[in-house]
Chain A
Amino acid sequence: MPDDIKLDKELKVVGHRNVRPDGMDKVTGRAKYGADLILPGMLYGRVLRSPHAHAKIKSIDTSAAEALPGVKAVVTGKDFPDQPKSKPPYGPMIQDAWDATRNIIAREKVFYDGHCVAAVAATSDSIAKQALKLIKVDYQILPHVIDPIEAMQPDAPILHEDQFTLGVEGATKPSNVFRIMKAAKGDVDKGFAEADLIIERDFKTKAVHQGYIEPHACVGNASEDGNVEVWTSTQGHFVSRNQLANLLGLPVGKIRLTSSEIGGGFGGKIPMYGEPLAVRLSQKANRPVKIVMTRDETFRSTGPTSGSHVWMKIGVKNDGRIVAADAKLYYEAGAFKGAGIAAAIGCMFSEYDLENIRIEGYDIVSNRPKVAAYRAPGVPMAAFAVEGVINQIAKKLKIDPVDIRLKNAAKQGTVNVSGIKYGPIGFIELLEKVKAHPHYNTKLEKNQGRGFAAGYWMHAGGMSCASVNIQDDGTVTLIEGNPDIGGSRASMAAMAAEELGIPFEKVRPIIADTSSLGFTFLTAGSRTTYATGMAVVEATRHAIKICCERAAAVWGVTPEQVKWEDGHAKPASANVGDFAPLSLSELAKKAPMMGGPIAGHSEINATGQGPAIGGHLVDVEVDPETGFVKLLRFTVFQDVGRAISPDYVEGQLQGGAIQGLGWALNEEYIYNDKGQLVNAGFLDYRMPVASDVPMIGTVLIEEPNPNHPYGVRGVGETPIVPPQAAVANAVENAIGIQMSELPMSPPKILRAIAADRLKAAE
């Protein structure tokens, strides 16, 4: 349970613990997820995947599969139009259609174990599986490389012969480094010259998967008239629709995507995998085609986030003031460019007020699935290094770990490395709350340790649409376009109900398909409650304006003489006249006689999102004989701007923390010497289970974002940034050894303890 929630007395719905509108159906099992749609005549699609990490496709023979009774269509890369390469300048989120089409289905080469090579649609799943065995692929196996540092070596196998490193003048040899991004502020060399203490360290992290419990699933249904319908579990059906149109050469308006309920995404359900295959198979077979991934396929061909090497050097004065910070980030992008270096650069030092920063980020391709976004994509690996070094500095200087962060904390007016100047920001208040919290002040026993780390995420705005329809009994249908992953429907309904002055239960939020609402950007970047929430407020205010106009007409006054209060149109002042207030339902009832239905709508491109800073406090106990790390206590502190739905905000903080804990302790992609993933399942890809994790306490700090009508910042990304470092710092506090490699699995900890004892003995 939360330790402290600040609620504004005057708010009746926002900030209260409302029951999410999608909750009942999710509890009873009625909610319809990606795999739940069954259409008449539907076929079952299956995907043939590469067993090789890197190979040239010499030929594919599908004739035997096509001849198998029950098989209705087979597709390979040749069934998709090729796409041009994107040209620089590239944005931070590279959407290169040349890459995308090759990631969905291989063309010239396979680039990773699990890469899709062909797909079949058949009248039953077992026939489809049998058909896969009849497809003959002639591969020429090529040497592979997975680790980013190895991929940078001059003799490394090259994935893309036409990729020359951006950011290197006159590069003449193809390279696995797609680009080197640089950012700087102040004079780092001067800062180091003034430093009393400099600490320099290397850190490594492994690729980890988002681990959403629902594998990717979709149904594609192409009609003879050229219309296409897709049902899919996605974080952004509007974005997917546009990409699908591009990849299949179809007009956008012909495609209608409906987002199913989504069983987790965390960034991993932004890219498309099965959708283009299902549609192409459906076009060939003239029947609907469903493709549901297995867990094995989900691990081998989707996600993950980058494995990384990070070099970090920080210089401080004796009082703990950081005078220079220098870093190099080497991130795996997987088979195609696009590791999260831009976000990492923008966020890694951004909770601190630093004068001198220099960062270089390397976006490196290697033979594993193309990385997908994963909750604050790219930032946790860099934060692991930053917070680890700051912890070492605090230890060396004998400064309290929270005090050293207070000494360097960003505040209103701080300018970060990207040149962003902060408005109100709650980091100092957060750090003071940490120090005052009982968790920070309890005594630790033998073999126990406490760690603290902070993290920052910048958030996103972007395009959103919303419609508010006032029904004739005064109930309200709210239409928006963001798949609801973390309880956003509840927040949207709360904001609409608050504006309208009606009970929460009277608003029914609906997520529209792509043909029923204007373009709405992804459910990602913690933008939904901010950006779409703004659209919802604006659309609701539009409907209220119409209500006031209708009341004005009834009363024979001007619309300006009418105000909206507590769900009623009322005279704006006593001078307007003595009119009985008109409720929403009374106005709705009059609508047919007064110009028709009442509805509001909004189409926006939101800016002004505020960053969120979090701090995680963790106690661990390390078993010195086995290296097992037991989590004893965990408290998440975060500046959430304003918690529209505190239950779901706390859920986000807890969920992010748990994912970070898994990343810290046991999760990793394990490959054999052939570059094949050997732990493609939840048994051996060790995410935390419920009994691994203590109840995670949450402390919500509410420093409202002035750019949002309810002060929303967004909350979902930040909580995955600090836990890796927080746990490492706690382990360090327990055993006196800094673990600079993730995961901190028991064998690694035991080896570190043994090495430390050996060193001490010498």
Chain B
Amino acid sequence: MDEMRYETPTSVNAAVKLLAGEKGLAKVLAGGTDLLVQMRGETVVPNLIVDIKKIADMKAIKKEKGGFRVGAAVSGAELGEHPELSKMWPGVVEATELIGSTQVQGRATMTGNLCNASPGADSVPALIAAGALAAIAGPNGKREVPVEQIPVSPGKTSLAKGEFVTSLFLPKRPKKSGDAYLRFIPRTEMDIAVVGCGISLTLDKAGTVLAARVALGAVAPTALLVDAAANAIIGTKLEDAALDALAAACSAACRPIDDKRGTKEFRIQIAGVLARRVALIARARALKK
């Protein structure tokens, strides 16, 4: 049987070199809450595991240009315990904190959630709504892309051989901005989103929506940024008609499947219901700022 290698590089360059040099399957290990489960179920059998937790800055949350840079190995619990970040991006934090259980939160990371490329990932719609950027290191140097460009289909990312995401950047917020995330699950925790919705918006002094980003999870092969939904509420005060238009745009954007977790019909309907609720929470948060 092939032996599996486990490496703990201490620099980004060393990690890239290991990942690029592996002929078989190389996997990045941050929290491991997806990878270890996949290995146990034998759906992923890596030849090389590169644990990035020993690399400087992977566990750091740093202020940058008025926003925050979150290292790829920062756990959900660490994120939630960061008061300034939680205040600036409550929707992103609440989405990340929905992943798994308290125990899982001690390990699970936003970056891992993004790179696992599950359409149901909770933090991803919130990150997309937030306009977050993913910093990537690879054999050809560094690059930065909007998070929505990372997952391309269930389980697949746009990362090239040898590349990995080193951090996520959450930008600075204008005044009167708020974000929120809700998901639907048939239980109260420990489940995978049947539908997820993240919205970030900015209001003017009169309470009119100046800018908005709306993202949906679990209703298509990847999380969706729904411009039509954002346009439905920009320029409105989230009156009933605007919320109806938002819900309709969200439902129209869905391209779901029937599976063990929910039906097409149900997902399409719930996407609209959640969007209305999320928009109102985001607005309430924006008004407090």
Most A CB atoms within 10 A — which of B186, B261, B262, B269?
Answer: B186
B261 touches A689 (CB 8 A): no
Residues in A whose Cβ lies below 8 Å from that of B144: none
Q: Beta-carbon contacts of B176-203 to A below 8 Å, as 1s and 0s?
A: 0000000010111111100000000000
Most central of A130, A679, A692 by chain B CB within 10 Å: A692
Q: How far apart are the CA atoms of A628 and B186 in the complex, in Å?
A: 6
A689 touches B1 (CB 8 A): no
Q: Is there an interface contact between A747 and B262, defined as CB atoms closer than 8 Å?
A: yes
Shortest CB-to-CB span from B12 to chain A, Å, is: 33
Among A627, A665, A688, residue most surrounded by chain B Cβ atoms (within 10 Å) = A627
Task: Convert B255-274 into 0s and 1s, putting 1 for each residue whose CB lies closer than 8 angstroms to a CB of A.
Answer: 00000111101100110010
**CA of A747 to CA of B273 in the docked complex: distance in angstroms?**
13
Among B184, B186, B263, the residue within 8 A (CB) of A665 is: B186
Q: Interface residue count for B (Cβ, 8 Å)? A: 19
Q: Which residue of A lies closest to B188 (CB)?
A: A691
B186: contacting residue among A130, A296, A666, A670, CB under 8 A: A666
Closest to A745 in B: B186
Chain A facing B: main interface SS: loop
**B187, A666: Cβ atoms closer than 8 Å:** yes
Q: Which residue of B192, B266, B270 contacts A683 across the interface (Cβ within 8 Å)?
A: B192
B187, A126: Cβ atoms under 8 Å?
A: no
Query: Are the CB atoms of A684 and B261 closer together than 8 Å?
Result: yes
Contact yes or no, B269 A750, CB < 8 A: yes
Q: A729 → chain B, closest Cβ, in Å?
A: 20
Q: Is A10 part of the binding interface, using a Cβ–Cβ cutoff of 8 Å? A: no
Residues of chain A within 8 A of B265, CB atoms compared: 747, 751
Residues of B within 8 A of A578 (CB): none
Q: Are A689 and B266 in contact (CB under 8 A)?
A: no
Contact: B188 with A692, CB < 8 Å? yes
Whole-angstrom distance between the alpha carbons of A627 and B187 in the complex?
A: 12
Q: Does A625 contact B (CB under 8 A)?
A: yes
Q: From known contacts A683-B191, A686-B187, A691-B188, infer whether A126 and B270 are also in contact, taking CB-CB under 8 Å.
A: no
Whole-angstrom distance between the Cβ of A22 and the nearest chain B Cβ: 25
What sequence of 0s and 1s flags, for each residue 690-724 of chain A, a beta carbon within 8 Å of any chain B beta carbon? 01100000000000000000000000000000000
Residue of A nearest to B40 (CB): A294
| Bound form: Cα–Cα A680–B130 in Å | 36
Contact of B187 among A296, A625, A689 (CB under 8 A): A689
With the chains together, A598 CA to B189 CA distance in Å? 56
Are B187 and A678 in touch, CB under 8 angstroms?
no
Instruction: Return the chain B residue nearest A625 by Cβ.
Output: B273
B260: which A residues are within 8 A, CB to CB? 670, 678-679, 684
Q: Which residues of the partner chain A approach B41 to less than 8 Å between Cβ atoms?
A: 296
Tell me which residues from 669 to 684 in chain A have a Cβ below 8 Å from any Cβ of chain B.
670, 678-679, 683-684
Residue interface bits A736-747, CB-to-B below 8 A is 1, else 0: 000000000111
From known contacts A126-B1, A130-B1, infer whether A747 and B263 are also in contact, taking CB-CB under 8 Å: yes
Chain B residue with the shortest CB-CB distance to A688: B187
Question: Does A626 interact with chain B (Cβ within 8 Å)?
Answer: yes
Cβ–Cβ contact B191 & A686, under 8 A: yes
Kindly list chain A residues whose C-beta atoms are within 8 Å of the C-beta of B192: 683-684
C-alpha spacing A84/B262, complex, angstroms:
45
Closest to B262 in A: A747
- The residue from B190, B262, B270, B273 contacting A689, defined by CB atoms under 8 A apart: B190
Contact A746 to B266, CB < 8 A, known contacts A126-B1, A670-B260: yes
- In angstroms, Cα B187 to Cα A626, docked, is 12
Q: Which residues of B contact A665 (CB under 8 A)?
A: 186
Distance from A240 Cβ to chain B, minimum over Cβ atoms (Å): 29
Q: State A336–B65 Cα separation when bound (angstroms).
A: 68
Q: In the complex, which residue of chain B has the Cβ closest to the Cβ of A668?
A: B260
Please indicate the chain A residues that have their CB under 8 angstroms from the CB of B1 in the complex.
126, 130
Known: A745-B186, A747-B265. A626 touches B191 (CB 8 A): no
Instruction: Please give, as numbers and ranges, the residues of chain A lying within 8 Å of B188 by CB-CB distance.
Output: 689, 691-692
Complex CA–CA separation, A683 to B187 (angstroms): 11
- State whether B189 touches A626 (Cβ < 8 A): no
Q: Is the CB of A750 within 8 A of B266?
A: yes
Interface contact A691-B186, CB-CB below 8 Å: no
Residues B190 and A747 in contact, CB atoms below 8 Å apart: no
Whether the Cβ atoms of B189 and A691 lie closer than 8 Å is yes
- A686–B186 touching, CB < 8 Å: yes
CB proximity of B101 to chain A, nearest CB, Å: 9
Complex CA–CA separation, A407 to B184 (angstroms): 43
Q: A679 to B191: give the CA distance in the assembly, Å.
A: 13
Known interface pairs A626-B184, A679-B260, A747-B262; A689-B189 also in contact (CB < 8 Å): yes
> What is the bound-complex CA distance between A683 and B260, given in angstroms?
11
Contact B190–A626 (Cβ < 8 Å): no
User: A668 → chain B, closest Cβ, in Å?
Assistant: 9
**In the complex, chain A residues whose CB is within 8 Å of the CB of B269:** 750
Q: Which residue of A lies closest to B42 (CB)?
A: A129
Q: In the complex, what distance in Å separates the CA atom of A745 from the CA atom of B270?
A: 14
**Nearest Cβ on chain A to B254's Cβ, whole angstroms:** 14
Nearest CB in chain B: distance from A538 CB, A: 47
Q: Which residue of B lies closest to A754 (CB)?
A: B269
Assembly CA distance A684 to B263 (angstroms): 14
Question: What are 23 A-B interface contacts by the 8 Å CB criterion?
Answer: A296-B41, A626-B184, A628-B184, A670-B260, A678-B260, A679-B260, A683-B191, A683-B192, A684-B261, A686-B187, A689-B187, A689-B189, A689-B191, A691-B187, A691-B189, A692-B187, A692-B188, A746-B184, A746-B266, A747-B262, A747-B263, A750-B266, A750-B269
Residues of B with Cβ closer than 8 Å to A? 1, 41, 184, 186-192, 260-263, 265-266, 269-270, 273
Query: With A670-B260, A683-B191 given, can you name 10 additional A-B contacts, CB distance below 8 Å?
Result: A626-B184, A626-B270, A626-B273, A678-B260, A684-B192, A689-B188, A691-B188, A746-B184, A746-B186, A751-B265
A contacts, CB < 8 Å to B? 126, 130, 296, 625-628, 665-666, 670, 678-679, 683-684, 686, 688-689, 691-692, 745-747, 750-751
